[in-house]
Homo-oligomer: A and B are copies of this chain.
């Protein structure tokens, strides 16, 4: 993992465009906020019940609307949310409030859950680890109708492969249950992937810890600060989830059945655990910085000791040599036969005395 690489400071372009796009527009205006290149949306539709399942792919809405959907459970997965008219038509078909559509395409939207009369709408961040071992957070919107779960995501990569496989392979109870269970299963997949982010942070803390102890370079301090920033960012995505799931469990909306709430309680448990971990990592990153500072201070001490020892030993000796380098006419010692040797002995004794003194002070 490339923890030690030098940081570069990207100029934020996303937010700026957000302001320019958004300011002064009427609420409920659907305008894509993301930084991905605009592309067509594709719909992946999966319908299933206990006995059968079918997967289809649509790139035009007309085709999709023609398709008949009986009382099977449907998972409508929309990939690509930059095509606003597409989203708007789809939204109308499913009777979604314009404010909901606005949130769906607003990739900066913070996690939220809103209940409407005939559907429940949620925005979350799905986290996964990129190939560069970095934590990526992607905007995802879920809408639960009676028999349908709509999923909106920016790119095709997601965290739902496990759910797909369970449907395909008829694993677990997913095929025998309704849309609310699918909704839960997707939420569960999102939250389970938070553990990967947590693990990634944990690994980085461990690497940084080792580096702080063994090689406290300035770049390590930068990496600690970078880590702190990332924890702040991720906490912002993860922190609200706990309360949102709580609200789903307490809702009186009949879209979520009572036995599915039992499963949501499990997801809530995980969300709480993840929040606790983030809190702990935050405190640990602060301790790391503290430790870094203490090691810096320690190194300074080491440097100062070397200087002090060298200076304290050789400056007095040089002074003695200086004395007998003077050119006075009358300096009797200069003419003693063993004067030179006596001076050497005095200097060696002084040296030994100094060494003993520093030894006693534990500077050596």
Contacts and interface: CB of A to CB of B under 8 A. Distances in A.
Interface stretch (A44-52, A84-92, A194-202): A194-202
Interface string A327-351: 1111101110111100100000000
Interface stretch (A63-71, A146-154, A221-229, A244-252): A221-229
A295 B331 contact: no
User: Which residue, of A7, A293, A314, A317, has the highest number of chain B Cβ atoms within 10 A?
Assistant: A314
Q: Could you tell me the dominant secondary structure of chain A's interface residues?
A: helix
B162 A23 contact: yes
A229 B272 contact: no
A110 B324 contact: no
Interface stretch (A12-20, A54-62, A74-82, A137-145): A12-20
A326 B340 contact: yes
Nearest to A173: B26
A18 B308 CA distance: 51
A186 to B, nearest CB: 12
Nearest to A206: B9
A300 B301 contact: yes
B312 A318 contact: no
Contact of A325 (B262, B265, B300, B326): B326
B321 A225 contact: no
Given A24-B162, A26-B173, 15 more contacts: A12-B202, A15-B202, A18-B195, A19-B199, A24-B166, A28-B172, A112-B269, A218-B298, A301-B303, A304-B307, A311-B315, A314-B316, A318-B322, A321-B323, A330-B337
Interface of A: 7, 9, 11-12, 15-16, 18-19, 22-29, 97, 99, 102, 109-110, 112, 114, 161-163, 165-166, 171-174, 184-185, 188-189, 192-193, 195-196, 199, 202-203, 206, 209-210, 213, 218, 221-222, 225, 228-229, 232-233, 236, 262-263, 265-266, 269, 272-273, 276, 280, 283-284, 287, 289-308, 310-312, 314-319, 321-331, 333-335, 337-340, 343, 361, 363
